[in-house]
Structure 1
């Protein structure tokens, strides 16, 4: 992951004095001046960021699960904080694809927004601390670590697994 994206997510949390998990992305958005709305979109549309002179709006698919909605809000915050160029970001499918290019890791803005969302919702230090606490408790099998951490951070197990690998805390997704 681009260190500056990780740093920007950390700086955003520090600026807003958010240190406890789970991070509430809707609260982060509101404190950054973004209005969050829940809309009944088709299943393939995760969310939208609309920049307007009177204020930016994050629209989230109300039909998606809570973990998906939380990641979508954080993803749209990423477009905002990273100052991606454009006034309209339409993020389609559960993979946050705007078009076929991003599924091949070509759309750098989408990749960056996903990395920002992961760092915002699953801050490096808190993930490390929670992982150590779980491992020290020896009340959980290693294969269940990602699931338990996902529950604590209110993200999907897949998102947590990727985050653990990207942070170098585990070596594979198995």
Structure 2
């Protein structure tokens, strides 16, 4: 990865803790067991307590984590717990989230918050649950696109969204990951290889979903989101990214169930060249989708 982001330090911090302090060297990482091994109590929230992903509590020198259960996804719950572990260990977090003697902090994990400390804890959670060395090894046999992300989600026992973002960070393929709700984008991440194609614009939070897209079609039917239906079709590249080179893109989108959102994975239909600029007869592109 050549490109560095503002939260990479949080991911690296988690990976170092995992290796040096927690002594964990295999997947899946079990965040609930990990927290308990460090003397942190972990408890589930009642199912009727929605609107937040988790809660960090610190009083009388002891810490506890409560995680949301209204979304019945082991991956979502694991990410929520890992996010709270991040609040416990990341430098400066305890003072920031528990100011003036406060003992409770409610979190909204999942890369949807604009708060710096929430985003740092999200990236910490990704590094804790999907450390680069172990994740890239698992990627070698995972396949491509949404199929690969779903395979890795099962392997790591993580949420589909978090797995997709980590996949985008570590893959050598051109891929864009977009989460949306109703007809608006919540975030978009693009891999280094995708950015090397020089898209004309970066889809931003609040932008409308292209009306010709499969994502727009799926999001128009909340019942299909709830059933976690999946659609795929050739993408209209200019609708998503403005000016774009003459390369075909493939759009895969899946509903995220009770989370009420959809996850879109956009990839190149053909593998990119070998990086030497040679796309002629001696270096043919191979179709990634049969």
TM-score, structure 1 as length reference: 0.83
Q: How does 1:62-141 map to 2 (within 5 A)?
A: 62-64=69-71, 65-83=73-91, 84=93, 85=95, 86-87=97-98, 88-92=104-108, 95=110, 102=113, 105=114, 107-134=115-142, 140=143
Q: Secondary structure at the match of 1:23?
A: coil
Deviations 1:27-58 (A, max 9, x none): 12112221101120522121100111241110
Q: Distance in 1 between matches of 2:52 and 2:165?
A: 22
* 2:30 equivalent in structure 1: 24
Structure with greater proportional strand content: 2
SS at match of 2:54: strand
Could you tell me which of 12, 15, 22 is aligned with 1:10?
Answer: 15
Counterpart pick for 2:59 among 52, 56, 75: 52
Number of residue-to-residue matches in the alignment: 161
Q: Aligned in 2, Cα 1:114/1:170: closer, same or farther, shift over 3 Å?
A: farther
Q: Which has the larger radius of gyration?
A: 2
Q: Who is 1:137 aligned against? A: none
Which structure 1 segments of 5+ residues have no match? Answer: 135-139
Q: C-alpha distance in 2, partners of 1:22/1:34?
A: 20
Structure 1 counterpart of 2:164? 161
- RMSD over aligned Cα atoms: 2.0
**What is the match of residue 68 of structure 2?**
61
Equivalence for 2:180: none
* TM-score normalised per structure 2: 0.51
1:141 & 1:4 partners in 2: Cα distance? 28
Matched with 2:252 is: none
Moved over 3 A (4+): 94-97, 140-143
